[in-house]
Amino acid sequence: MQEISKPFDFLNSSINKNVLVLMKGNLRIRGKLKAFDVHMNIVLEDAEKLNEDDTVSQKFGKVIVRGDTIILVSP
Amino acid sequence: MQEISKPFDFLNSSINKNVLVLMKGNLRIRGKLKAFDVHMNIVLEDAEKLNEDDTVSQKFGKVIVRGDTIILVSP
Amino acid sequence: MQEISKPFDFLNSSINKNVLVLMKGNLRIRGKLKAFDVHMNIVLEDAEKLNEDDTVSQKFGKVIVRGDTIILVSP
Amino acid sequence: MQEISKPFDFLNSSINKNVLVLMKGNLRIRGKLKAFDVHMNIVLEDAEKLNEDDTVSQKFGKVIVRGDTIILVSP
Amino acid sequence: MQEISKPFDFLNSSINKNVLVLMKGNLRIRGKLKAFDVHMNIVLEDAEKLNEDDTVSQKFGKVIVRGDTIILVSP
Amino acid sequence: MQEISKPFDFLNSSINKNVLVLMKGNLRIRGKLKAFDVHMNIVLEDAEKLNEDDTVSQKFGKVIVRGDTIILVSP
Amino acid sequence: MQEISKPFDFLNSSINKNVLVLMKGNLRIRGKLKAFDVHMNIVLEDAEKLNEDDTVSQKFGKVIVRGDTIILVSP
């Protein structure tokens, strides 16, 4: 019996974990996933915007990221 | 018991607080969050458009910002 | 008791007032807000397209501006 | 008592009048507005594509213009 | 009595006629309109992709063109 | 009596035939049409990505192509 | 009797297989397909971002890829 979870189950299992978010326009943000909705809008805590070389470019507290700007999310 | 708020609960908790809004086309606006709707259209008060170096480029009174131009919102 | 108006209430309160409309593609138009709908399509009267230095580039009478080209509206 | 017409009422009152249509990609078309629908798809008669200097670049008979390519319409 | 046809009535009256289709990305295709649907997806017969100087760049037999890539259609 | 097929009838009649798919971003793919849905997502078999000069750039087995990246499909 | 599967049946038959995902902005990701939904959001396991020459640019564990950034998926 095959056990296939849906993409949003995967996001759900990443709640309270650190994730890397690749966004359109070469923007990359790292932070702790706190919430998401069906549009893939997500809330990150201790979010950091990254430079090309993975150093931190800007620190945010919490951020809400619009789902339609997201390319991929990886824990 | 896990307590997960939805992204819009997060916006709701930012009402009357200063937020930074990153928008498409490298536009950044700072202001006091006064209102939002399900499309993430938001109203800011004492809004300021920022230059690259975080100095103020233009001052607005109130503005309504279309949700589909928003990349992220951070308090 | 908190009193939060929705973004479209804000547009409604700007009817018959002069507003500045920032649009995609660096287009800026100023005029008197006469009407709007749920898509944020708006009608401006005595509309003027502005140059970079805020001088008037082109005068229109009335214009209808499609909501999905709007970035922000400010009175 | 405030009398606010909706944006599409404005289009309706422009039927059979000459309008200027600004479109994405710096395209400008002038013609007589013959029809429109809720997506702002419009039909123009005696339509002319304009050059930067407002001279006529190309003459069409009737054209149907897709609403989602329109920035603004002005009589 | 004013007689206003809807944009899609206009397309309907162009069935089996040659039309010019302007598309996003400077693509221009000419052919006989054979079918369309509510998304403005269209089928052309004896379709030809045109060069800038209106010479034929590529000949197709039938093609289906996605409506959301269309800017305008003219008979 | 006029006999007008809908665009998707046209796709249906191309099942198991070789088609050329023009996609956004100058991507061209050729292959045997095996399936499609209402979003114009399509499955091609023996798919080949083409270079500018129509030589084969990359061979795929089956591919699923998202409809919203398609410009046109031609048998 | 013709046997035509729908595009999502094709994705379904690729579950637990390695797939190549071409995405907008020249991004290419390879990994084992673990899940997908109706928006073509997909989950990949042991995902690798590829360079132009097919060498691995970055390794991810699991990733969720937004469907609207996908151009094509091939096993």
Average pLDDT over residues E6-27: 93
The answer, yes or no, to whether G and C have at least 3 beta-carbon pairs within 8 Å is no
Judging contacts by C-beta atoms under 8 Å, the chain B residues touching residue A63 are 72-74
- For C49-74, b/e burial (b = at least 16 CB within 10 A) is bbeeeeeeeeebebbbbbbbbbbbbb
pLDDT of the residue at C5? 65
* Chain C: partners with 3+ C-beta pairs within 8 Å: B, D
Q: Kindly report the CATH number assigned to the domain that includes residue G37.
A: 2.30.30.100
> pLDDT tens-digit profile of F15-62?
999 999 999 988 999 999 999 999 999 999 999 999 988 899 999 999
Judging contacts by C-beta atoms under 8 Å, the chain C residues touching residue D50 are none
Instruction: Say if F2 falls within a structural domain.
Output: no
- The rounded distance, in Å, linking the Cα atoms of D33 and D37 is 12
pLDDT of the residue at A25? 85
Whether residue G56 has pLDDT greater than 80: yes
Decide if G73 and F60 are in contact by the 8 Å CB cutoff: no
pLDDT of the residue at C52? 85
Decide if F43 and G74 are in contact by the 8 Å CB cutoff: no
Average pLDDT over residues F1-7: 60
Percent of chain D with pLDDT over 90: 81
Judging contacts by C-beta atoms under 8 Å, the chain E residues touching residue F11 are 64
Decide if E24 and D29 are in contact by the 8 Å CB cutoff: no
Percent of chain B with pLDDT over 90: 80
Tokens for F7?
A: 């665009």
> pLDDT tens-digit profile of C14-57?
999 999 999 998 899 999 999 999 999 999 999 999 998 889 99
> How many other C-beta atoms are found inside a 10 Å radius of the C-beta of residue F57?
14
Instruction: Say if G67 falls within a structural domain.
Output: yes
Decide if E7 and D41 are in contact by the 8 Å CB cutoff: yes
Interface test with D, best of C9, C32, C42, C43 (most D CBs within 10 A): C43
pLDDT class for G5, splitting at 50, 70, 90? low
ipTM of the complex model: 0.89
Average pLDDT over residues A46-73: 94
Shortest Cα distance from F59 to chain E (angstroms)? Answer: 23
Across the interface, of D35, D62, D68, the residue whose CB is closest to E75 is D62
pLDDT class for E34, splitting at 50, 70, 90? very high
Instruction: Say if D15 falls within a structural domain.
Output: yes
pLDDT class for A5, splitting at 50, 70, 90? low
pLDDT of the residue at B5? 66
The answer, yes or no, to whether F and E have at least 3 beta-carbon pairs within 8 Å is yes
Shortest Cα distance from A66 to chain G (angstroms)? Answer: 12
Query: Does residue D13 belong to the interface with chain C, where contact is any CB pair within 8 Å?
Result: no
Average pLDDT over residues B4-21: 90
Instruction: Say if D2 falls within a structural domain.
Output: no
Instruction: Say if A8 falls within a structural domain.
Output: no
Of B5-9, B71-75, D14-18, D19-23, give the lowest mean pLDDT range: B5-9
Shortest Cα distance from A42 to chain B (angstroms)? Answer: 6
pLDDT of the residue at F47? 97
pLDDT of the residue at A26? 86
Query: Does residue A40 belong to the interface with chain G, where contact is any CB pair within 8 Å?
Result: yes
Cβ C8 vs Cβ B37: under 8 Å: yes
Whether residue E2 has pLDDT greater than 60: no
Across the interface, of B23, B27, B41, the residue whose CB is closest to C7 is B41
Counting the structural domains of chain F, the total is 1
Query: Does residue D36 belong to the interface with chain E, where contact is any CB pair within 8 Å?
Result: yes
Instruction: Say if E2 falls within a structural domain.
Output: no
Using DSSP, state whether D50 is helix, strand or coil: strand
pLDDT of the residue at F3? 45
Q: Which residues contact G25 (CB under 8 A, 6 or more apart)?
A: A24, A71, G69
Closest alpha carbon to G35 in E15, A44, A5 = A5
> How many other C-beta atoms are found inside a 10 Å radius of the C-beta of residue D47?
24
Q: In this structure, what are the phi and psi dihedrals at residue D9, rounded to the nearest 5 degrees?
A: -65, -35
pLDDT of the residue at B26? 86
Shortest Cα distance from C60 to chain B (angstroms)? Answer: 23
Instruction: Say if A7 falls within a structural domain.
Output: no
Decide if G65 and A71 are in contact by the 8 Å CB cutoff: yes
Question: Number of CB pairs < 8 Å for E and F?
Answer: 56
pLDDT class for D3, splitting at 50, 70, 90? very low
Average pLDDT over residues C54-67: 94
Judging contacts by C-beta atoms under 8 Å, the chain E residues touching residue F27 are none
Q: Which residues contact C50 (CB under 8 A, 6 or more apart)?
A: C28, C29, C30, C56, C57
Judging contacts by C-beta atoms under 8 Å, the chain C residues touching residue B37 are 6-8
Using DSSP, state whether C9 is helix, strand or coil: helix
> How many other C-beta atoms are found inside a 10 Å radius of the C-beta of residue C26?
9
Judging contacts by C-beta atoms under 8 Å, the chain D residues touching residue E11 are 64
Tokens for A57?
A: 């470019």
> pLDDT tens-digit profile of G7-43?
999 999 999 999 999 999 889 999 999 999 999 999 9
The residue range of the domain holding E22 is 7-74
Average pLDDT over residues B46-62: 93
Judging contacts by C-beta atoms under 8 Å, the chain E residues touching residue F9 are 35
Query: Does residue D9 belong to the interface with chain E, where contact is any CB pair within 8 Å?
Result: no
- The rounded distance, in Å, linking the Cα atoms of F74 and E12 is 22
Interface test with A, best of G64, G65, G68, G71 (most A CBs within 10 A): G64
Q: Which residues contact C45 (CB under 8 A, 6 or more apart)?
A: C31, C32, C34, C61, C62
Across the interface, of A9, A68, A71, the residue whose CB is closest to G23 is A71
- The rounded distance, in Å, linking the Cα atoms of G20 and F49 is 14
Average pLDDT over residues A66-74: 96
Cβ D58 vs Cβ D48: under 8 Å: yes
Of B22-26, C32-36, D64-68, E63-67, give the lowest mean pLDDT range: B22-26
Tokens for E36?
A: 């369309």
Average pLDDT over residues B34-61: 94
Instruction: Say if G32 falls within a structural domain.
Output: yes
pLDDT class for E5, splitting at 50, 70, 90? low
pLDDT of the residue at B67? 96
Using DSSP, state whether E24 is helix, strand or coil: helix
